[in-house]
Chain A
């Protein structure tokens, strides 16, 4: 792992197009400002991993029988 020291207000550049700036340090909390192209998703790792895991569990075979739901979502009239 590459380890770099940065001061507040300083940045790193990844691949010439992703900029990560140290915005603020407050105790053990570091605020980062991230600029990345729109096609580069940026996520907090724990939320990313939670959703990734859930997607993997949700992937199914088409023949999976669908659950029966009670009458749900009687659509509200506008």
Chain B
């Protein structure tokens, strides 16, 4: 499935919003952690939080990768599309994991986005087929 057609994720709501997300295979390196809560808050846009469900002090900062790179064209492997039961582009939400660095600009991982089926709330960290075109540390522009 070519994902240029994936529509803009609608992870943002007008009020803080929490959604449970199940990631059955875990994130890479965190395979044992499968249950997360995705929290979006208009005041924190364009960022959102993906908390570990049973340890909310642990979290990943995430961002809509299309906001960072409007012409981002991730190509999702067919096996992952089937695993997530994504039938059309509108079923998918993409999140890029943000790394906040001390002395350097924050970065976003565009090689391995988290893809969530917005209907089933099931997600997976997907290594895109065209990972070679993107970086795990794509810099975010930062305001002064």
* Chain B residues near A48 (CB-CB < 8 A): 28, 127
Contact A72–B46 (Cβ < 8 Å)? yes
The 0/1 profile, CB within 8 Å of B marked 1, for residues 57-78 of chain A is 1111110101111101101100
Contact A47–B58 (Cβ < 8 Å)? no
A15 at the interface (CB under 8 A from B): no
B32 to chain A, nearest CB (A): 13
A56 to chain B, nearest CB (A): 5
* Chain B residues near A68 (CB-CB < 8 A): 142-143
Contact B142–A70 (Cβ < 8 Å)? yes
Interface size on A, residues (CB 8 A): 29
Nearest residue (CB) in A for B124 is A41
What's the A-B contact tally at a CB cutoff of 8 Å? 103
Contact A60–B59 (Cβ < 8 Å)? yes
A58 in complex: contacting residue of B8, B51, B109, B140, CB < 8 Å? B109
* Chain A residues near B125 (CB-CB < 8 A): 51, 55
Interface size on B, residues (CB 8 A): 44
B68 at the interface (CB under 8 A from A): yes
B6 at the interface (CB under 8 A from A): no
Residue ranges of A at the interface with B (Cβ–Cβ < 8 Å): 38-39, 41, 43, 47-48, 50-62, 64, 66-70, 72-73, 75-76
Q: A53-B29, A55-B125, A70-B143 are in contact. List 19 more A-B contacts (CB 8 A).
A: A38-B79, A38-B82, A50-B111, A51-B28, A51-B29, A51-B109, A54-B112, A56-B29, A58-B109, A59-B58, A60-B58, A60-B59, A61-B58, A62-B51, A66-B44, A67-B100, A68-B142, A72-B46, A75-B8
